[in-house]
Structure 1
Amino acid sequence: SFIDLLVKGNVDENLLAYSIKNADSFPYFVFRDKLEVVLQKIQSGCPFIVVLSDLGNGKTLFLKALSICLLEKGKKVFYLERDALSAIDELDYICNQTDDPTVIIIENYADTVNLLKKIGRYKHNHISLVLSERTPAHETAHLFLRDIMLDDPFEIDLNELTDKEVESLIQVVEKNGLWQKRSHFTVDEKIQFIKTRCKRHLSQFIIQLVKSDDLGNRYNEIVTAIKHRSDYYQALLYLLIGAVLDFRLRLVDIVDDLGLDSLNNISFRINKFLREFIDFDTEEIVFKSSVLSNYILKNLLNYSDIDTPLIQIYERLHEKRSHKRIRKYLKEIMLYQNLNRILKKDSDQRGLNRAIFNIYEKVAYLEYNRENPLFWLQFAIARLADGEYSDAARCFDNAYSYAKNTNFDTFQIDNHFARYLLEDANEKKNVIEPIEVFKRAHRMLMASQKGNQYKHYSFRVARHYSTFYSIYHKDFSFHERYDFFIACHEMLDAVEKYLALPGASKKDMVEETRKQLEELLINEN
């Protein structure tokens, strides 16, 4: 059961409950210190909590444990399994039929906007809301969340294991006999292994565990055996990608979404390799681990194994685009950061870039993408990552053109276009009227901050200021140099205001930008 928890992401809730009560007899759950913090907050009437972590660092298990502890304390607990049409009606009933202390738990809150708006209108004192989201998604979505709830949440970050949790993890792994090649390590060596090699991240520890076991070879054999059947392989890839991108797919979703007749045949259901991922008797996906799915995609498959079948999957999903859920999948798959997450990175970076370009080029003609500014922005970002600035410019032209025909907020395009202007100029080292290029980029970065004071991306782009100045300052007149430094001061003021915000994210990165701007201004004064 413990291996299934770590490897497949399957939570045995009965065993979890026993482990919470008696960890020595049931070595299954690493009790997280912040569980007590959240319980105390809810007991004291805190209405609004957000639990955060990166891929595979324990949000789901934390929330399952939280729900068990809350039930023990006499709370009513409601857990949103899927944002179906009936959820709004169920929420009405939950909020209006009782005054009992109630906790509503919603994972991946960014996908439940309508439901959150409904909850925001209730604001009953007896109801506490516990949300979870991956850290990068929260950085993008927390503004609309704050607007809906009219308050800042109490945030819990689960990314790093505390010293106490590290020691607990060592004991649980020890009792389950899973240290294997590292069994001879002393306790201090195991502590250092988790703290240093795994950076206190549970996801990294799981990966190291898999690498030291025969699990990697086992899954490699399974994937290799399925590859020769295009339809089965598409189903497997869809399952793995869905786990990494948190689609929460069911067997019926895989069969219906892909629309492959062969997935309804008995041969699909009795395939011994697919049974490692799907329990056909219960119609359940038994492989839910985002960590191991990511490991398989990036370590056992090359981009050449993924790009063509991914395009086929995307085209099949596109046929079902009338469904809101499918449109979300189409959007998520095409985000450049997600393609980077799905496709393996190795020494052949050019090959990876070609694979990404191939995917974008092959799906650009589809109706969902053809006039979609977000799609063309992602294509532009991919071109920027490869230093293909002229191709990036064409993608930006498409993004801006299609944005005019919709209500699409161009602040994302503006930020990346400003990055394009600065990077392109820094690469060429001989642009005409460089100060005008700089001022245009700076104006776009400053404008994108209006109404988006919690957005940090413009400060990342501002790191290019120093390089730009080192290349072009000799071409500046006195007045142009003055304009440049006025802009730097303006950006520095914005940085200071951002760092003063209590809910601001990526502060380490923004601090680095502040340091660069301060050094630039000091050295020239």
Structure 2
Amino acid sequence: MQLPEATTIEAGTSILFLGAGFSAEAKNFANVAIKDVEGLKKLLLDEIGEPVDGYDLESAAEEYVRYHGEKGAEKVTQALHANFRSKTYTNEQRLIVCQPWYRIYTTNYDDVIENICAEEKKQITTIEISDPVSVPIPDTTQLIHIYGNITRASADEFKRHFLLTESQRDNSPFIKSPWLRRFHDDLLTARSVIFVGFSLNDIDLRRLLGTLPREVLTKVHFVERPSAKKPILNRMNKYGTAHPIGLDALAAHLSVKRTGAPVRQYAAMPMLLKELNFSQQLTSPVSSKDVESLMISGDVNLNKIAQADISGAPGSYTISRSKNAYLRAVKNAAGDRPILVHSDIGNGKTVFAHQIAYQFSQRNFRVFRAEREPENIGEILSFLQALDEPALLIFDDVMKFSSLPEAIIRMNRRNIVVLATVRSIVVDTAKERVRARLGNATSIEIDLNSPQRDECERIVTYLDQNGLLGKNANWSPREKMEFVQKKCGGQLRDIILSLYETGTLHARVSELLQNIQKLGKRERDVIGLGALLSYADFTNMVQFSIVSDLVDYTDGIESLREKLSENELSTLVRLDTGDVLIRSPALAFFILTNVFSTESILQLVKTALFNLDNYYCDEDDFVTLGKNLLKFSLYGPMLKNKRDNKAIERFYDECRTLRFASDDPLFWVQRSICNMHDKQFAISYRFVETAYALAKKMRNYDTYQVDNHRARLMLTQSREEGVSEDGRREQEAMSLLSSVLNRKDDDLYHPLSVMRLYADIVDKWRDKLSHVQKAALKKALDQAIMSIGKSHQSGRFRNLPDVKRRLTDATQQLL
């Protein structure tokens, strides 16, 4: 692998990483060369009369500080200043630094880079890992000192921020810092990464590189001196490409200093965009293996999509959906009118998005899928602005992208169209957030949850043509339609899960589950947490580096890939992108419920939560993940018996000490839900009171979620144990729900879902109600129906007609 061209680096999207070897030829104020690791070790040990044998730099520094007692930090700081304050530099060092690097990371303590930039008038900002992560200033390289910065070195700074002694390295703030994740993401997104003078002795950085897939490591380069020994080069080639050419050859390759702004290459494809290419064809050759792979893995083979997938003609690769939905999307979408596709988990959003993309490609649109949002979205926006052709941008799970979809829409390019997918629960509960992601533009909204009869007929035809019904293939046409429409409610997820259980996919899925069980426990833990995060829609947190950290998996990603390959599981997760992502949510759920016991899942999550609490609690994204992993709704569908109920009660008991949980009112709501599920109503009420008490301590805290749950708890108790004697409990519940609707008009999903319980109560207890109880219930039902009618946003809630019908029917039963 050759070094990247200088034109690639001058685009401003490459990363430089400098180790001690880079600074070796610079001279300090004593006019001697800055000492490298061995030289600094000898300097420290000679001063205190210790032989160098048996010491590395960390233990030598530790001994030096211990020798000088109370003045240890001050003395070592003086030694560092004497060695690392630089004065002169080589032309090669100047030329290498003076490129438009996006970031420069260095393990060096010296000020060589800062001084070169000052003399050469190159724009740079200097950061330490104790500083918050920030986006580089436009046209300015950001420099990050990982182990410490001599320009900030005082005795106090040495104690707090330097990584030199053994005890400092053992408690490395870099490993617990957001900068470690930033460096990881830079490795994923940079066009090239060049290490200079860094021999990979740092085990933490080696481990980080080990979390990256080999596909990413092809852009990693190590420049070493020509005399570098073979073991060092072998180590480097494991994590990238070694170039034993020295600084002189690298400088010659770069040829000239480039101290100005990057030269934008608008024609170059941004790293985090993937172009999707389709073949225009009426039909495509589709084998049973193709269909099996689609149904199990969820990965779409673009070469198999054809016009038959849109028209519903025989032999299609995917299931054709609503022709009206296709027409609305293709005919009406524009730059200021994005397409928003939503459905419940596993109901075909991604496949439908690819079908729409195919149709746009027929109209000569280029199609791109955003893999993740880059730190700096400018490169993608510049690339799109320079396009001459129309383009469709797919954002699968738009909530993962904080600003890019909105920025593209605000470009006001009519022929650049955004297609976004999202789970329906997000539309139901946070519609304003979804709209904000799309720049508050009027979108073409397509709901895949309620297929019409013609769609159900095409589903039946697809199942028949591909022999997916297995032993049920002898069903009559009517029985097949009842299976799709009534048993599965037209939901693709439930159809696929049924096929896993009894259809022709059963044998292949069973084999897959058995192969997962053959993995070692550590590998199963990685797959288990990856499956849970995939199922729960935390796909922005399924990076191998994160998952492996949370479950204490210490091997690299290639080791995991090898283990999966040995057990015929290569296609199970998307390791090629550095993610432990199970593409099919239906498969993820099937794995969780058939490979793992509820107890083992909860134990795995508990390990992840406590690692998160210990190491990531200062990062908002991880705290959000932790709170979501404490939601009872994640585990409720997995609970099968009393043992499982006991396990989840124990889980919440053990998690109550988590820093992000103990003072959070909503954690106590989750504990209450857990006990409500097990019909332990007295304990459940007690946890609600705890939630209210904690909320009172918080300024301007809106208790609408606590109120909503308290109403659910009251009505669940009434459904299970009977209506309260005077009906006050049921009326109090309605007062809580009305209050929620009055102040949280943008989230109807939860209060309306609770209102359904009134209909359940009437259905179960109507023959045993007293006159007083009937009157109280009717009053609550009338108030519920009136609240729905008064709501300004009631049209958003897609199940509203069913709720109103059930409440009206319940009212009639009480007359």
TM-score range, shorter chain: 0.7 to 0.9
Q: Does 1:203 align with 2:493?
A: yes
Alpha-carbon shift at residue 93 of structure 1 (Å): 3.6
Q: What corresponds to 1:457 in structure 2?
A: 750
- Residue 452 of structure 1, CA deviation: 2.8
Q: CA RMSD in A?
A: 4.0
Name the SS of the counterpart of 1:214 in structure 2.
helix
2:375 is matched with: 85
Residues 500 and 417 of structure 1: CA distance in aligned 2, closer, same or farther (over 3 Å): closer
Q: CA deviation at 1:59?
A: 0.4
Which residue of structure 2 aligns with residue 398 of structure 1?
Answer: 690
Deviations 1:419-452 (A, max 9, x none): 33455577777979864x5554333221111243
Q: CA deviation at 1:362?
A: 1.9
Residue 112 of structure 2 corresponds to none
- Are positions 1:74 and 2:364 aligned together? yes
Displacement of 1:145: 3.3
Offset from partner CA, 1:21-67 (integer Å, 9 cap, x none): 99879741223222233112216x77143212122111001112222
Candidates 212, 231, 245, aligned match of 2:536 = 245
Say which SS state the counterpart of residue 261 (structure 1) adopts.
Answer: coil
Counterpart in the other structure of 1:262: 555
Would you say the 8 A contact 2:627–2:660 is kept in 1?
A: no
Q: Which residue of 1 aligns with 2:734?
A: 442
2:667 aligned with 1:372: no
Write out per-residue CA displacement over residues 314-369 of structure 1, whole angstroms, 9 at most, x where no aligned residue: 3334433444443343233222212224x2x43x2x33322222222222211121
The one-letter amino acid of 2:590's match is: Y
The answer to whether the aligner puts 1:30 opposite 2:323 as a matched pair is: no
What pairs with 1:498-509 in structure 2 (closer than 5 Å)? 498=791, 501-509=794-802
Moved more, 113-122 or 507-516: 113-122
**Structure 2 match to 1:220:** 513
Letter of the 1:413 counterpart: V
Q: Is the 8 A contact 1:279 1:286 kept in 2?
A: yes
Q: Which residue of 1 aligns with 2:586?
A: 291
Partner SS for 1:51: strand
Q: Which has the larger radius of gyration?
A: 2
Structure 1: segments with no counterpart, 5+ residues: none
Partner of 1:262: helix, strand, or coil? coil
Deviation at 1:202, TM superposition (A): 2.2
Secondary structure, in 3 states, of the residue corresponding to 2:317? coil
Indicate yes or no: 2:790 matched with 1:497: yes
3-state SS of 2:305 partner: helix
Instruction: Tell me, yes or no, if structure 1 residue 236 matches structure 2 residue 524.
Output: no
- In 2, the alpha carbon distance for the partners of 1:147 and 1:379 equals 32
8 Å contact kept, 2:645–2:678: yes
Give the match for residue 330 of structure 1.
Answer: 626
Instruction: Give the Å deviation of 1:286.
Output: 7.6
Deviation at residue 176 of structure 1 after TM alignment: 4.7
Q: Matched residues in 2 for 1:191 and 1:242: separation? A: 33
Question: Which residue pairs with 1:310 in the alignment?
Answer: 605
Bigger Cα displacement from structure 2, 233-242 vs 189-198: 189-198
Query: Do the aligned partners of 1:57 and 1:158 also contact (CA within 8 Å) in 2?
Result: yes
Distance in 2 between residues matched to 1:511 and 1:412, nearest whole Å: 22
CA distance in 1, matches of 2:326, 2:800: 25
Alignment partner of 1:133 out of 422, 425, 428: 422
Partner of residue 224, structure 2: none
For residue 386 of structure 1, report the CA deviation from its aligned partner: 1.9
| Equivalence for 1:360 | 652
What displacement does 1:102 show?
4.8
Following the alignment from structure 2 to structure 1, what is the Cα–Cα distance between the partners of residues 650 and 348? 34
Question: Structure 2: 5+ residue runs without aligned partners?
Answer: 1-289
For the residue of structure 2 that corresponds to 1:132, the secondary structure is strand
Q: Distance in 2 between matches of 1:201 and 1:484?
A: 34
* Contact 1:18/1:26 (<8 A) preserved: no
Q: Which residue of 1 aligns with 2:635?
A: 339
| Deviating more after overlay: 99-108 vs 403-412 | 99-108
Q: Using a 3 Å threshold, how does the CA distance of structure 1 residues 42 and 304 change in structure 2: closer, same or farther?
A: same
Pairing 1:13–2:302 present: yes
Between 364-373 and 415-424, report the one with greater CA deviation. 415-424
Q: Helix, strand or coil for the counterpart of 2:355?
A: helix
Kindly indicate whether the alpha-carbon contact (under 8 Å) linking 1:460 and 1:509 is maintained by their aligned counterparts in 2: no
How does the TM-score come out when normalised to structure 2?
A: 0.55
Please say if residues 234 and 310 of structure 1, whose CA atoms lie closer than 8 Å, have aligned partners that are also in contact: no
Contact residue 80 and residue 106 of structure 1 kept, 8 A: yes
- Cα distance per residue 1:91-112 (max 9 Å; x no partner): 6547766797554432323444
1:52 aligns with 2:348: no
Name which of 669, 676, 694 aligns with 1:384: 676
SS at the partner of 1:11?
coil
SS in 2 for 1:270: helix
Partner of 1:306, secondary structure, is helix
**Contact 1:380–1:392 (CA under 8 A) maintained in structure 2:** yes
Q: What letter matches 2:426 in structure 1?
A: A
Distance 2:485 2:622 in 1: 40
CA contact (8 A) 1:244 1:294 kept: yes
Amino acid aligned to 2:514: E
Identity %: 20
Q: Displacement, 1:235?
A: 0.6
The one-letter code sitting in structure 1 at the alignment partner of 2:623 is R
Distance 1:90 1:246, change over 3 A: farther
- Whether the 8 Å CA contact 2:557–2:575 is kept in 1: the answer is no
CA contact (8 A) 1:243 1:290 kept: yes
Task: Give how far 1:190 is off.
Answer: 4.6
Question: Match for 1:503: what amino acid?
Answer: R
Is this contact kept in 2: 1:251–1:278, CA < 8 A?
no
After superposition, the C-alpha distances for 1:179-236 in whole angstroms (9 at most, x for unaligned) are 543455566665554344443332233223322331243133223323xx33222111
Seen in structure 2, the aligned counterparts of structure 1 residues 452 and 112 have a Cα distance that, compared at 3 Å, is farther
